[in-house]
Chains A and B, each alone.
Chain A
């Protein structure tokens, strides 16, 4: 895997297809796997891919990188990159997706992450180069519907109570936002102070406000990479909320985030014929 990855990256440099590549390397001292940006083909020898590559590098794509930029993507990361192109963050030709066959990652070093156990997309749908054996990837052990079944089964009152309790440890550090590949607002709603939409300190009202707005902004955009959950130092299960919305969006709009390029994506879709009255549709009374 690593050999093939490195050769492919060197070839992309040699053919002039990339000016930089975002990938993973093992830190020589701490031995942890960290993100790295390489701009010289000889540095490709530091690149690796294995079960320790838990991070989603799509967040690291910024316009000040030397473009076109190559990016090593797992299935979920690729969907995020694809979505960023769909939303116009980058032009398609500015990105070279180096898709790796990903059996799943192990944040604890032992078992596959929960997000990987239900993964149906072990190879990125956006792929300019594919590395590794794509024929021998695991089937999902459970489904998203199973993951959120517990929440779906609750009554609205129970659900409200569940979330209030779940958000309680939140300290408003906004790490979930900072690692999310699709949290790309120029000024986040919570950073705006005229008016102040969300109070900055942890308490039931502001916790609810932050997590609700965060989730709404991800409807039809979340790619189920689960980075928000992994980054949270207090273990708030906010990703479950994104999953519930993803389920609804797929059902109502027949849209799977980041799987196909182009098309109309629900978050920015406006339809004057919308059946919901509050959007000014025909049922407006």
Chain B
């Protein structure tokens, strides 16, 4: 796959339409079905692509209210074939993490799996913004490893590179011209960044007072988790309308005070600092410890951009690491 393939917008559009529905971000950055391939901005959309695979609200089952045993009607996984246009490498890499939770685990989420199996991921190389840090995680704005096809926009179409055998097979069905591909671009990283923290060291400092200090600059609003491409926590809730009850799987987040509240009222994560610590440790300690080579963050920078308190996840993690290392040196 050393060569790239020149492909026109029209040829791509035709081939994708033939395949089925096309999803793309709209002008407010939400993923919707589109008729034709939209012109997209230089950077990732506001919402991560996970919305198509593990949406904020999804029906699991429904039944009619009333006397007698309820006839439960489970929701069917959506198996319609289609494609997703305009996936950025950070969002695509995040799907690999979600796969770990929803496909590779002993419990497979049939809805998620059906979407993953049937939607072709068409990546689009981007121009990183000021809050983007994919370089920290060892890939760049035109990384093709997590998508089926990576497109680099040109004045008259795209240069496409297959990222998977599925992508290669799709490319074979489209009229293309072989062209040389430019060298992969490195991803941006903050100039002060020197490397990822050691997951075990981070966990060993679970009770460090710095968590409390960091906690004062966080109000647990949870916006960071809501827009994070790798956050995957959900809860189950029921809604009823005109005698019909729906059981829903809806998005939840670890920053909310009721996330860990038990029946009876006990809450192991009572204070803001403990919830902030959970978010940092989950991404930078638990996931890397359990899955060597993976980190729970892909550097999309949405949490940095949207934080109402202007907190910067990477800067916080860096400060924590620095402090732990300094203290370790002092002891040694």
- Residues of chain A whose beta carbon lies under 8 Å from any beta carbon of chain B: 22, 27-30, 32-37, 54-55, 59-60, 62, 64, 169, 171, 173-175, 178-179, 187, 191, 193, 196, 199-202, 227, 230-231, 233
Contact = CB atoms under 8 A, between A and B. Distances in A.
A173 B221 CA distance: 8
A179 B56 contact: no
A60 B319 contact: no
* SS of B interface (majority): loop
B309 interface: yes
Contacts of B306: 233
A97 B238 CA distance: 45
B263 to A, nearest CB: 11
Contact of B308 (A27, A33, A187, A230): A230
A201 B220 contact: no
Given A22-B216, A29-B318, A64-B271, A34 B310 contact: yes
Contacts of A27: 310, 312, 315
A191 B258 contact: yes
B319 A178 contact: no
Contact of A36 (B216, B221, B314, B319): B216
Interface stretch (B37-45, B177-185, B222-230): B222-230
B319 A29 contact: yes
Contacts, number: 96
A233 B272 CA distance: 20
A64 B192 CA distance: 34
Contact of A30 (B222, B238, B308, B312): B312
Nearest to A23: B216
Nearest to B309: A55
Contact of B222 (A29, A174, A201): A174
Contacts of B219: 59-60, 178-179
Contacts of A33: 310
B250 A233 contact: no
A38 to B, nearest CB: 9
B217 interface: yes
Nearest to B215: A37
Interface in B212-255: 213, 216-217, 219-223, 226-227, 237-239, 248, 250, 253
Contacts of B110: none
Contacts of B226: 171, 173, 175, 233
Contacts of A62: 271-272
B239 A199 contact: yes
A32 B312 contact: yes
Contacts of B76: none
B311 to A, nearest CB: 6
Contacts of A201: 56-57, 237, 239, 248, 250
Contact of B28 (A59, A169, A175, A230): A169
B74 interface: no
Contacts of A179: 219, 221, 308-309
